[in-house]
Structure 1
Amino acid sequence: MNETRYAAVAKDLMDGIANGRYPVGSLLPTEFELCDLYEVSRHTVRAAINQLLSQGLVSRRKRVGTRVEASQPQGGYSHSLATIADLAYLAETQQREIQDIRHFVADISQAARLGLVPGEHYFCVSSIRVDRTHRAAPMCWTDVYAQRDYAKVIDLAREHPEQLIASLIEQHFGRSIAVVDQQVRAVLLSDEMARLLKAEPGSPGLKILRHYRDSEGVLMTVSETVHPDDRFTLVTQMRRDRAAT
């Protein structure tokens, strides 16, 4: 199953629900109709519908169909991220609002925490990200770190708030991201972070640290993102190793 394709189908259906193409109370097209509409398999359509189900946008009943229950996601946002392209799709649904830019030399503590090289020159772009269709509260706070050789990307980040900074580096510096290492851990929101994200101080949050590397394993960018726990759910999928069966 092509995860990127079902994410695109889910996004288009969500947009259709949000803008009234599929109003609350109406039925979505049948699975077969959606297959024809998007030129995809039933597996892809079902995976896309599951994304909508997980966000409380629709319900399903046998011999009735898929009914639209809400025009906006309920209880936060759920995202299935299986490829680098999925990260790019996620970024396209959000708007970057840059809050701060700083240049620094990585000390030993920063290098150890973020996987940087001590003594090297870096910059950090700090942003709030808001959902394009649901702007009631920020989705997250993100700090993106990169070497000063890529500093020209800062202006590009302002011009293209919907694109990942890592993707902008790919496009304009001739680099290619081959792998993203991801670490996820639970945190409690500090008073300052809660204020920035319009959340309760001390409430649970999710911190995601991502290292973007090229095919040689060379680090291109690092992002550190904090989500309030009620605004983001990270969905992963595990498959049986055929060699182990």
Structure 2
Amino acid sequence: MRLSPVVASDDPLYLQVARALKKEIVGGLYPVGSHLPTESELCERFVVSHYTIREALRRLRDDRLVSSRQGAGTVVVPRPSADAYAQDVVSINDLLEFATGARFAIESIDMVTIDAKLAARTGLASGQEWLAVRGLRQREGAPTPVCWTEYYINREFAALGKVLGRHVGPIFPLIEDLFGRSILEVHQEIGAAVLSATLAQSLKVDAGTAALEVRRTYKSSDAEVAQVTINTHPASRFRHSMTMRRIRM
């Protein structure tokens, strides 16, 4: 069975894959104790990338349907008896920044020392050095940018700066692939802001326009912060949608 890469759904591919696998798990195709196919086999079946499969499996783990251990594969686990709610979060620009159809045009890459003002915006400790990558994200053919994006990358992974000019898509998978450090937690905060004259000009809105800042903090397998991303959206160009779905365990 293969899933076409072009599907009649607005949901991210990883959610579509996760739902297909969940249906098969609940339907008994993969009983408790059995192994799901390997990442490579799932990539071939669904015609998607390894990154998409990893995110789909992460969703299944969040739903407590499977467990994964390095070298042991992904195993279907017994489900608790109580009902539970799981949460799908999909924003216009995608929670995990697949940025489909939105090109990231880098305007600057440099090492910065976190001062008090930047510490308040990023949640990082003052005095530390981080790789800062800044630029505009814009959809193909759109007259205005989607948002202003700032990446703050742990100096341990600062070598990424050499490859970002050729990279398309989210940055944190590069940390996993090139440095072998899994990203286990992403914390998101959304706050209100007012655009400065400089940033408003870049985003093609009036100075003082209301905006939303979406800050995501990515923690690695050793509980260290690997990356902080801040996306600043003019309020009229951002919508956050949330669906709570009941899962019968």
**Matches of 2:124 and 2:101 in 1, distance apart?**
29
2:156 match: 149
**Matches of 1:226 and 1:109 in 2, distance apart?**
16
Residues 134-155 of structure 1 deviation map (CA, whole Å, 9 limit, x = unaligned): 4211100011001222122112
TM-aligned CA deviation for residue 7 of structure 1: 9.1
Partners of 1:156 and 1:168 within 8 A in 2:
no
Secondary structure at the aligned position of 2:175 is classed as helix
2:135 match: 127
User: Which runs of structure 2 are paired with 1:175-186 in the superposition (5 Å)?
Assistant: 175-186=181-192
**Matches of 2:133 and 2:181 in 1, distance apart?**
19
**Matches of 1:172 and 1:202 in 2, distance apart?**
41
Letter of the 1:195 partner, please give it. Answer: Q
When you count strand as a share of all residues, which structure comes out higher?
A: 2
Superposition CA RMSD, Å: 3.2
1:9 match: 9
- Whether 1:237 aligns to 2:239 is no
In the alignment of these two chains, the number of paired residues is 170
2:76 match: none
TM-aligned CA deviation for residue 240 of structure 1: 6.2
User: Which runs of structure 2 are paired with 1:20-169 in the superposition (5 Å)?
Assistant: 80-81=89-90, 87-89=96-98, 91-132=99-140, 134-160=141-167, 162-169=168-175
**Matches of 2:163 and 2:7 in 1, distance apart?**
26
Partners of 1:205 and 1:227 within 8 A in 2:
yes
TM-aligned CA deviation for residue 241 of structure 1: 9.2
**Matches of 1:88 and 1:141 in 2, distance apart?**
13
Secondary structure at the aligned position of 1:152 is classed as helix
**Matches of 2:201 and 2:135 in 1, distance apart?**
14
Letter of the 1:97 partner, please give it. Answer: A
2:84 match: none
2:206 match: 200
1:189 match: 195
**Matches of 1:229 and 1:130 in 2, distance apart?**
16
Distance 1:221 1:138, change over 3 A: same
TM-aligned CA deviation for residue 105 of structure 1: 2.3
**Please, what TM-score do these two structures have when normalized by structure 2?**
0.59
**What's the % identity of the aligned pairs?**
31
**Matches of 1:211 and 1:142 in 2, distance apart?**
14
TM-aligned CA deviation for residue 117 of structure 1: 3.0
**Matches of 1:168 and 1:9 in 2, distance apart?**
27
Structure 1: runs of 5+ lacking an equivalent: 13-37, 39-78
- Whether 1:174 aligns to 2:180 is yes
TM-aligned CA deviation for residue 231 of structure 1: 1.6
Letter of the 1:115 partner, please give it. Answer: G
TM-aligned CA deviation for residue 118 of structure 1: 3.1
When you count helix as a share of all residues, which structure comes out higher?
A: 1
Spell out structure 1 runs of 4+ moving beyond 4 A: 5-8, 239-243
**Matches of 1:185 and 1:101 in 2, distance apart?**
25
2:26 match: none
**Matches of 2:155 and 2:11 in 1, distance apart?**
35
Distance 1:203 1:159, change over 3 A: same
Residues 161-216 of structure 1 deviation map (CA, whole Å, 9 limit, x = unaligned): x3112222222111111111111012222211110111122122111111011244
